[in-house]
Each structure stands twice: as structure tokens, then as C-alpha cells.
Amino acid sequence: MTSQTKQQRLEAVNELIKVIASCGRCFFSENAYGFKQVENPFISTMEIDERGKIWFIDSETKERIYTHYQHRWKNFSQGGTLRGLIESFRNYISKGHQLRANYFQPDMGNGFRNPWGYGDDILIVKEAALRLGIAK
């Protein structure tokens, strides 16, 4: 668990989301998957409301999504791998639970490639996650 405040952890997560959106397949960006190229793309963020609840702002739908909801996330444009990552980010923001650094590996072992399809750009994400204290 980190000694940062909830707000500091939120800021670190939003910085990591910017890194993820700027390389590889540009997840969390309006330019994700290479379907379109917007000059100043909208990038997803996470935020904390006045009650301390954590929300995700989707880059494609621009909708605010409650991250504690256990069922289908209405207006969520990403897949299950990224939903799981957002849930991990939520847990890091709320409780300081860091992610494992090996989550951001090009090769997951046993012949499996990283499910992100980021190639070696996943190492850029890993470095940022370690630098920001999100992963250990």
C-alpha cells in the first residue's frame, strides 16, 4: 500500500492513462485501434466525486461510468481486459493496492503474448506504472 493520498493516486492513474493512450493501440484515446486519427483526441480519465466514489470517463462515449457497478457498464466502449485494468486502477486509487509490474509484460509466459497487443510499447507503460508508483 502506498503512502500517497487518494487524490495523488488519482492524479498518478490519470497520468498513466495518458501514457497508455499515447502509444501502442492508443487505448483510452479517441484514436484507439487506429480507426480514426483525431489531432487532439479525447483521453479517458478517472475522477472522484464529492462522496468519494470513483468514476471513469470513457474516451469514445464521453460518458461518466461508475466503477463499482458489478454488472455491465452502460456506455463503456472498451473490452474486458481494460475494464479489469480500470477496476485495478479504482482499487489503487481507493485503497492504495498496487498492481503487479509483470501485468505490463510483452510476454506473459507459457507462450502467451500480452493481451493488449501493444508489442514492446507495453514496456513504456510498465516504466510509467513503476515510476508513478502504481505498480511494484
CA 64 to chain centre: 15
C-alpha dihedral sign at 12, 128, 91, 29: positive
- At residue 43, the pLDDT reads 96
Selection from 22, 7, 40, 33 nearest residue 127 by Cα: 22
Query: Would you list the domain boundaries of the chain?
Result: 6-131
- At residue 109, the pLDDT reads 66
Q: What's the pLDDT tens digit per position in 111-135?
A: 666 778 888 899 999 999 999 999 9
- At residue 96, the pLDDT reads 96
- At residue 97, the pLDDT reads 96
Say how far apart CA 64 and CA 48 lie, in whole Å.
11
Say how far apart CA 136 and CA 133 lie, in whole Å.
7
Cell of 32: 484507439
Q: Hunting for cell 493481451 — which residue is that?
A: 115
* Residue 33: DSSP 8-state: G
Q: Which residues of the chain have a pLDDT value below 70?
A: 1-2, 33-36, 108-113
The 3-state secondary structure of 73-92, one letter per residue:
CCCCCCCHHHHHHHHHHHHH
Whole-model pTM: value is 0.90
- At residue 39, the pLDDT reads 83
Q: Are strands 54-57 and 64-66 parallel, antiparallel or unpaired?
A: antiparallel
